[in-house]
Amino acid sequence: MNSKTVRRFFKLFQFATLLGVLGVVIADGARAVAQSALTPEKKYSFNFENVDLRPVITSLALSKDKSTIYVGGDNQRVYSCDVNDSTFELALSHSARSRANNAEGKDWIRALAFSPARDSNLLATLSQDGQVTFWNVDSREAVMQTELQTTEEIKGAHSVAFLAGGRMIAVSAYKSYVNIYDCDNRLQLYAVWDAPGVNTTELVASPNGRLLAMGGRSGKMRICQTKTPTQYAEFTLTSNNAQQPRRIRAIAFSPSGKLVAVGGDANQIAVCEVGVSSDGAVSIGRQVASLSVESGKVYSLTFCGEDELAAGYSTNFVKVWDLSSQSVALTSSTEHKGTVSTMYYDEEAEALYTGSYDTTVIRWFVPKKTR
């Protein structure tokens, strides 16, 4: 074999080796993409022929037995669907309002929440004009109803959160305070708590119902105990490398209640430790994670177990973050066509439900190996 033949053989060998390396890289990349892709299991939608009648979804809740999805939107109605079906049907309908300030756009169902009280089948709904209604979902009848008690014009009620095992419920409405109602006493006004800023919209109770987190346009998140609301801790959401507070649009507690996540218009989702001392003082401890928001705004958050956090974005995406590595474990593609405004995680079924302005709900599989 002469030298020219040897050189030709060596070049062919190098080329074949390069092709092999590239093949491995491409295969590994494909596997990585496949592993990081959220898997949609089912899509739930409305079968109205007129697409304009399909409500924009702003709230979502699962029944206590996790068998039925309830959603609310911009038409004063609550719809439901069995988790094994795919089409929403009318479940509950709010009556028309006669309030003087009931202008166009005041009829949205802004929030849904099931009472955590044992053996309770009560669903609380909050419409944008300030009407709070308790429904028996079995009989589909309204059993209690009240209105936000304020002398000011209601610009938009927004959130509800059950406290103290379902004995109280908190309601926010773009004000500098939060109304607390007594559920055991026909929704009579129990107390008015100060809130961090004049446009407080987000309310979330800890899993045990003993803590209430609130936030909104001011960028300040306040956490207090339900027994001592005047004792609280605060955290300001800012963009990285900036001091300007950014609007809060979503808050979530971890299953243990020891972590709280907050996001909105900032370029980060902040995850912090939460503690309660022996004397009842609430503290917001160190920030354990800063999850980068590359574009858009964060509209919804929910923990998927203690170590992962799901986020819904105005860019129509859903991401599941690994908190230990502060990296994206799973991400959606183009399944949603609108802002992901609400979400719920069913840990037992390993199912993440996301509702969107595109009028659909998607159920995603979040496998155990990511937790």
Give dist(CA 116, CA 42) in Å, integer: 27
Residues 6+ apart with CB under 8 A from 115: 122, 123, 124, 134, 162, 166, 183
Q: Mean of the pLDDT values across residues 260-282?
A: 95
202, 172 Cβ separation under 8 angstroms: yes
Q: Residue 257 pLDDT > 90, yes or no?
A: yes
What average pLDDT does the structure give for the chain? 86
Alpha-carbon dihedral of residues 301, 304, 308, 311, nearest 10 degrees?
A: -20
CA distance to 13, 17, 18, 21, 187, per residue, from 8 (Å)? 9, 14, 15, 20, 87
* pLDDT bucket at 108, cuts 50 / 70 / 90: confident
Give dist(CA 359, CA 348) in Å, integer: 26
Quote the pLDDT of residue 152.
Answer: 59
Give dist(CA 331, CA 355) in Å, integer: 16
Q: Residue 151 pLDDT > 80, yes or no?
A: no
Residue 90 CB-half CA count within 13 A: 9
Residue with the bigger pLDDT between 354 and 186: it is 354
Q: Residue 57 pLDDT > 70, yes or no?
A: yes
* pLDDT bucket at 120, cuts 50 / 70 / 90: confident
Mean pLDDT lowest among 4-8, 113-117, 222-226: 4-8
Q: What percent of the chain has pLDDT over 70?
A: 84
Q: Residue 244 pLDDT > 60, yes or no?
A: yes
* pLDDT bucket at 101, cuts 50 / 70 / 90: very low
Residue with the bigger pLDDT between 3 and 202: it is 202
The structure tokens listed for 212 are 């209430």
Quote the pLDDT of residue 76.
Answer: 83
Q: Residue 183 pLDDT > 70, yes or no?
A: yes
Quote the pLDDT of residue 279.
Answer: 85
